Amino acid sequence: FMIIGGRLAEAYGAKYVFMVAVAGSGLINFATPWLADTSYPLLVASRMLMGAIQAGVFPGMYALFGKWLTMTEASIFTPLIKLSLRLGMLLGSAIPGLITGWPNVFYTTGTMSIIWSLAWWVLVSSDPADNQWVSEAELRKINRKKRCHQEEAEEQVNEVNENGMGDDAGNIISHDGEGAKSNCANDGNKPTNNVKRTTPWLKIITCPSVIGLIIVKLTFNYAFDFMSIELPSYLKYVHHASKEQISSITSAIYLVQVILIVFVGWMAKVAVQRRPLGMNKTGVRKLFQGIASFGMSVTFLSLSFNNCNLLYIAILLQFGSLCSMFDSGGEIMLPYDLSDQYPATIMAIANTFAQLSAVSSTTVAALVLGGHGGSFHRWNILIRLVATVNLIGGLCFTCLVKAEPIDFGDGRRDKERKDLEASIGS
């Protein structure tokens, strides 16, 4: 359903995918107390339906950002997706404790969803050209920025071919396409063409960069699912941590991510623009994802060589949390690098496979631990396994991924952008 939702958001607009997801979830929440008293099978079916309609939200964000933002702007706002998820988890844990009576929890969340849906329907559009709140001047500015960003490659290919200005072209790119701005500055009232094409499913799923994205997402999610599902048990049974200590450690992990994740996205944007040490965009993506994947691997490996010092464990987990945020400049941005037409579809495919981590992490934990939840030795085996999985994911990303546009069909602009980056990098 995530893949379907992502493709629908690209083809027909993210506004409708979000509307169905949030309004539908609100109505299901309203009906949940009645379903719980009436029919258990219907209750289960309603939760399955909620999961199906919510599946398109995550890829829908990629489609929405792709319509409104340039790549430079998206590198700042896309990490906010993870930030919103963390804040949602915190609010979802805090609000029910303030409400009396469990049915009122569902009525409250249902009401919030319906109010949000009404505001969303009135205020938001999938495309800035369809938004009644966007003035003509604002629309021209948005279209001009996007057109400049799209035509930048064409302009620079001509310069490289005619003048051999590889270094100068690289400098122009590092300033977000200022060389192309002069040619499209007065063309802001021309909207970008949105041509509907048949989705090249086979080309997408067999692309080495997409395969690398799938693997790193699966392995990275495996580590996070371990931390969210198994870590509290590890702290409780191995290190004899109290509930308050466990809560403090896990809350601190989320707090660090909330505070610094946007800063990491900004760092990635600056690195792509300024090309430190001569790195191209692929090098930047691999550097940031390497810090995330290999940093998490080092964290878990270090956990298996501890002396049962809870402070040591807390510091290591914070280090791992800090490293994990660097995926905001790695795999998080890769769908935009690979295609202007199908970023939501690519993300949805990768994230669909990544969801297998929740099932696999709990299954593997049960097999390794067996009935020995307090065994220090068995937990170390499990933790080293998680470290190995992240190491493999980071290596696959490094070997397979190229952060350059892929011609999935008749994508002339994608091909020209790819030729540009190849000529500049040589």
Tell me, yes or no, whether 325 and 364 share the same domain.
Answer: yes
Q: Is residue 424 part of a domain?
A: no
Residues 367 and 228 in one domain: yes
Where residue 364 falls among pLDDT bands split at 50, 70, 90?
confident
Is the separation of the CB atoms in 417 and 405 below 8 Å?
Answer: yes
d(CA 188, CA 396): 41
Q: Token pair of 102, please?
A: 């469990």
The answer to whether 142 and 128 have CB atoms below 8 angstroms apart is yes
On whether the CB atoms of residues 25 and 52 are closer than 8 A, the answer is no
Neighbour count for residue 328 (Cβ, 10 Å): 30
Is residue 82 in some structural domain? no
List, for residues 58-83, the tens digit of each pLDDT value. 888 888 887 787 666 776 777 777 77
Does the pLDDT value for residue 420 go beyond 50? Answer: no
Condensed to tens digits (0 to 9), the pLDDT of residues 27-52 reads 998 889 898 888 888 889 988 898 88
Rounded to two decimals, the pTM is: 0.74
* Co-location of 157 and 174 in the same domain: yes
Q: Which residues contact 382 (CB under 8 A, 6 or more apart)?
A: 226, 230, 364, 365, 368, 369
What is residue 151's three-state secondary structure?
Answer: helix
Quick check: 184 and 153 in contact, CB under 8 A?
A: no
Query: CA torsion 183→187→191→194, rounded to 10°?
Result: -20
Domain that holds residue 319: 201-411
CB atoms closer than 10 angstroms to residue 217: 25
Residues 220 and 351 in one domain: yes
Asked if the structure places residue 320 within a domain, the reply is yes
Q: Amino acid letter at 337? A: D
User: Are 16 and 145 in the same domain?
Assistant: no
Same domain, 185 and 229: no
Amino acid (1-letter code) at residue 112 = M
Query: Are residues 111 and 28 part of one domain?
Result: yes
Position 387 scores a pLDDT of 92
- Number of structural domains in the chain: 3
Short-list 113, 87, 102, CA closest to 26? 113
CATH of the domain at 222: 1.20.1250.20
Are residues 143 and 55 both part of a single domain? no
In a domain, 219, yes or no: yes
Query: Which residues lie closer than 8 Å to 38 by C-beta, 6 or more apart?
Result: none
Both 247 and 378 in a single domain? yes
**Is residue 328 a part of any domain in this protein?**
yes
Tell me if 111 is assigned to some domain.
yes
Is residue 416, in this structure, part of any structural domain at all?
no
H-helix or E-strand containing 346?
A: helix 343-354
CB-count burial class (<10 Å; 0-12, 13-18, 19+) for 333: buried
Per-residue pLDDT of 88-114, as tens digits, reads 766 766 666 677 777 888 888 889 889
CB-CB contact of 336 with 74 (8 Å)? yes
Do residues 283 and 404 both lie within one domain? yes
Has residue 81 been placed in a domain?
Answer: no
Whether 210 and 278 map to the same domain: the answer is: yes
Which of 88, 105, 130 terminates a domain? The answer is 130
Same domain, 331 and 366: yes
- pLDDT tens-digit profile of 123-136? 888 888 877 777 77
Contact of 300 with 223, CB cutoff 8 Å: yes
